[in-house]
Amino acid sequence: EREIEAFRDAELRRQSTANLARTRTRYRAMAAALSRAEARIDPVLAKLDDHVTFLKHSLNAQAIGALEVERRDIERGITRLLDEMNRSIAESEAFLRGMEGDE
């Protein structure tokens, strides 16, 4: 911002200000997507950790059969997490591609 103010050419100042505003907007969208993905990681990992501990304590055929429903829930959670992470990665890549176009 300080450098933008140093432009003597009004058109260059305007273009640079517009580029900065676009970059900030794209960055905020990317950061929000990453935050959403991050917020979903801990609950999935906590549930997975609980089940690993449970299996360590009572590893038998009956316990494994009883965990089938939980396994499906964990798989769905992981699938949702991976989908969100892939969306975040796509937004990050789009942000970076946009930065290349601004140069």
Q: How far apart are CA 13 and CA 4, in angstroms?
A: 6
User: What's the whole-model pTM score?
Assistant: 0.50
Provide the sign of the torsion angle of the four alpha carbons 83, 85, 77, 35, taken in this order: negative
Q: Which tens digit of pLDDT belongs to each residue from 3-43?
A: 998 999 999 999 999 999 998 998 898 888 888 888 888 88
Q: Which residue, among 81, 84, 62, has the nearest Cα to 73 in the 3D structure? A: 81
pLDDT of residue 44: 84
- Check whether 79 has a pLDDT greater than 70: yes
Q: Which residue, among 65, 71, 38, 69, has the nearest Cα to 52 in the 3D structure? A: 71
Buried (b) or exposed (e) across 69-101, using 16+ Cβ within 10 A? eeeeebeebeeebeebbeebeebbeebeebeee
Q: How far apart are CA 58 and CA 1, in angstroms?
A: 61
Q: Which tens digit of pLDDT belongs to each residue from 44-74?
A: 888 888 988 887 777 666 666 777 778 888 8
